[in-house]
Structure 1
């Protein structure tokens, strides 16, 4: 069983990753572990409290990690241990999947310098916040979801499409195409 690390921090957009996490564990038989900068509980954007399973620095030593899932949330500083984990997984060509403002972490780690990507964070917002733009804008594509090799990025409003891109990349619906198609149809009918 492979492991997917899910980075969580205060005010992260939990709704953007619940479908992905649910199907990764239930259909893909993956272990999804929440990792924070430390083991302190964090409150998501929805007001729910999550307790990390491990600290990011400890995730660096895990074996059988298949990828890193990064939800959106506020634009904020990045600690070195997250940058190290992203760079390590990038070098190993493991899945790096980030949605909404989540690609900011990939940008700061240098992963987006050589890959096409998308994000919900517009240049105007960065200017209003008065922070350094973490994105190499020349690589930006105005699309709902962008996959460039093992890196998947998506706009926040495309969290369903983002989830399906992850499912397809990890091939969790192998031999279950009808089930995948029905799940997508059910979600789109709501």
Structure 2
């Protein structure tokens, strides 16, 4: 069983959190919601789901987790400017563990400076940012590059979830 951190803040894309989170739990893994602070309520931008942070970003260590999932929407913008979030993602990457981001999720990877020399995809609106961060951008439903898994939009969720579960097994 893997322990998976879901990085979350207000304004995340509802299905990009709910579907991978539910799939990870259904596969028997532990899913932990890491927010900007413990107990913070994180609401989806469409209002269909909300979650409470199990732990704050300043309290987590890479050694305690096997993977990180970063849903898209507006949340990655709030997450990427938090030093504790960026430190955590850098440490998880240094350990070679899975980091999966969909839609705007790769914004956190950009701020953690972990895309250089990797292949990646994202929501088209941040495509140039992904390229400028040193990634070889691919317009594909899911891109797996070493320990990173990236996808573009909610329609890519089945492929995104499939690759996350494959990496965890």
User: How would you bin the TM-score normalised by the shorter chain?
Assistant: 0.7 to 0.9
CA drift of 1:32 comes to 0.2
CA distance in 1, matches of 2:94, 2:145: 14
CA distance in 1, matches of 2:62, 2:89: 13
**1:142–1:136 Cα change, 3 Å:** same
Larger radius of gyration: 1
Q: Which residue of 1 aligns with 2:14?
A: 14
Q: Give the TM-score, by structure 1 length.
A: 0.78
Does residue 152 in structure 1 map to residue 149 in structure 2? yes
Higher strand share: 2
Does residue 97 in structure 1 map to residue 95 in structure 2? no
The RMSD of aligned alpha carbons is 2.0
**Structure 1 SS opposite 2:66:** strand
Q: Give the TM-score, by structure 2 length.
A: 0.87
Aligned 8 A contact 2:42 2:51 in 1: yes
CA distance in 1, matches of 2:135, 2:3: 33
Does residue 117 in structure 1 map to residue 101 in structure 2? no
**1:102–1:138 Cα change, 3 Å:** closer
Which structure 2 residues correspond to residues 48-127 of structure 1 after superposition, within 5 A?
48-60=49-61, 63=64, 65-74=65-74, 76-77=77-78, 78-122=81-125
Aligned 8 A contact 1:95 1:150 in 2: yes
Aligned 8 A contact 1:67 1:96 in 2: yes
**Structure 1 SS opposite 2:138:** coil
**1:102–1:57 Cα change, 3 Å:** same
CA distance in 2, matches of 1:169, 1:61: 17
CA drift of 1:158 comes to 0.5
**1:123–1:25 Cα change, 3 Å:** closer
Listed as ranges, the gaps of 5+ residues in structure 1 are 127-132, 172-190
CA drift of 1:121 comes to 3.5
Q: How many residues align?
A: 162
